Amino acid sequence: MLTAEDREALARLGAATLGESGGLPMRARIRAIWQGATVVGEAMPVTCSPGDNLAIHVAVAEAAPGSVLVVEIEGDPELGHWGEVLTTQAQARGIAGLVIDGGVRDVAALVRLGFPVFATMLALRGAVKTGTGAVGAPSSVGEVEVSLGDVVVGDADGVVVIPAARLAEVRAAGEAREAKEQTMFEQLRGGATTLALLGLDYSGIRRG
């Protein structure tokens, strides 16, 4: 179970540090739809059948407060699978955010409402709501397999998934990395170089 302390620590460490500390980074195509969007929460995986977003509607109705919907899109991703209507319902039900390997729309409303959305694109055409899909079963999003209860961290750098069983390990590694980097920043401000601090071999670099 993700604690308030976990949420605060993971948000501070950020996706980039956690991705270098054992977290699983999603592909770069999945990014924040509006500047400043951040999210930390436990995953509710969703899979939508081609051209359809009925599974998302089910997930919004059933997900626990604080969940992050993590949505795999089968078929054409260039549809607006999410917009203002779903956002309004999701916020009322305490859902923390959305990560979707496909398109969303109504971006001005998403910004105004301050709902964190990470997606691959903006897409005007909407999806239908008559198909099949899955809610709670593992989904593959940004080439990362996501299971129910995994931890999702998203910010300006991208989205990282932390398997639930490895949360403590990845958080500890992230905090150790953060402490090491703070020492490095102090040394760099004092005049040190990354070449020396990282022990880089640059003998193969040509000079004009």
Q: Is the pLDDT of residue 71 over 90?
A: yes
The residue written with tokens 């949360």 in the block is: 167
CA gap 101, 140 in Å, rounded: 9
Q: CATH number of the domain at 4-169, please?
A: 3.50.30.40
Q: What mean pLDDT, rounded, does the chain reach?
A: 97
DSSP 85: H
Looking at the chain, the whole-number percentage of residues with pLDDT higher than 90 is 97
The residue written with tokens 């299971």 in the block is: 147
Give residue limits of the domains in the chain.
Answer: 4-169
Kindly indicate the confidence band of residue 150, based on its pLDDT and cuts at 50, 70 and 90. very high
